[in-house]
Structure 1
Amino acid sequence: MVEEKIYLTEESLKQYEEKLKYLQEVARPQVIEEIKEARNQGDLSENAEYDAARDKQAAIENEILEIQHILENCEIIKSSTSSNNLVRIGSNVKFYDFSTKEIIEVKIVGALDADPFNNKISNSSALAKALLGNKVGDIVEVEAPKKYKIRVESIL
């Protein structure tokens, strides 16, 4: 199975690194202490605190593994300097939507940074796939359940 690249902004990379450090240096030692304390309370078969601490430990370890996977497979999105004037991951794009007759601005980011409410769209979304590789003035069709056409107005 070919691993797909995980695209991250510089800010996201920093957040993941900080979260990993917190989990490894603070959360993991805390839960180990909780397990020790619960063990000291006697019979483990009927010890709800012990079970809860073990569940918490499993969740922390899973999150550590997930973040390590992200960091090992990520590619940082470079700030878009449109030297070739083509839309790419990291580009801010203004486009005209022929169906709504509106000009919309979006930033194309990796899936983990996507935030549609703040106009940050995933590079794997239908809109981003239609925009990627195009230049100002290009008219493209977005392969959505209901297809629509857009025109690239500007690339920032």
Structure 2
Amino acid sequence: MASVNYYTPEGLQRLKDELQELKIRGRAKAAEDLREARDKGDLSENAEYDAAKDAQGLPELKISKLEEVVGNARVIDDTNMDVTKVLILSKVKLKNLKNNMVLDYLLVAEEEANLAAGKISVKSPIGKGLLGKSAGDTAEITVPAGKLQFQILEVSR
């Protein structure tokens, strides 16, 4: 059984748009590639046809996986969430206690993570280490480079 994942309305819409794009353009391109390869002659010795036939399964696999993800997706209703604790969709201002650097992150679902945009996954080491903490708390988080300590300066929505 697949696990339920929580998304922002925008994140879920992006997944649905990607799924629709694959169903329409992805399938059409795979079919066109197969048709072109078939038109090139003897199928028993046509490596391009074999490759196109194999490649046709890739969009179908991705469509299947995306349908499962979208089917198990839930939109987050943050109206009743505790705004004093770090949860998914929390905006968190952190201070790295080692170098005094201040960072701002938004905790999001794994598929919506984008470090350049300041969005980190709740499943990342830092995201996991921050969950449930409040402003003023210190979080010691183990990352691949070692242990980091962050002071949580602010939590908001």
Output the TM-score relative to the length of structure 1.
0.83
Q: Distance in 2 between matches of 1:147 and 1:110?
A: 23
Deviation at residue 40 of structure 1 after TM alignment: 4.4
User: What is the CA distance between 1:79 and its match in structure 2?
Assistant: 5.2
Query: Which residue does 1:118 correspond to in 2?
Result: 117
Counterparts of 1:99-110 in structure 2, within 5 Å, are 99-110=98-109
2:133 is matched with which residue?
134
Alpha carbons of 1:77 and 1:100: their partners in 2 closer, same or farther (altered >3 Å)? farther
SS at match of 1:69: helix
Percent identical residues: 32
The letter for the 2-side match of 1:20 is L
Q: Give, in whole Å, the separation in 2 of the partners of 1:36 and 1:3.
A: 35
Q: Deviation of residue 81 (structure 1)? A: 7.5
Q: Which residue of 2 aligns with 1:151?
A: 151
Counterpart of 1:119 in structure 2: which amino acid? G
Of stretches 33-42 and 99-108 in structure 1, the one that deviates more from structure 2 is 33-42
Unaligned runs of 5+ in 2: none
User: How far 1:71 moved relative to its partner?
Assistant: 0.8
Contact 1:126 1:143 in 2 (8 A): yes
**Superposition deviation, residue 27 in structure 1:** 2.5
The unaligned stretches of length 5 or more in structure 1 are none
Deviation of residue 61 (structure 1)?
A: 0.8
Task: Look up the match of 2:66.
Answer: 67
1:38-57 matched pairs, under 5 angstroms: 38-57=37-56
Aligned length: 155
Q: Hey, what does 2:23 align to over in structure 1?
A: 24
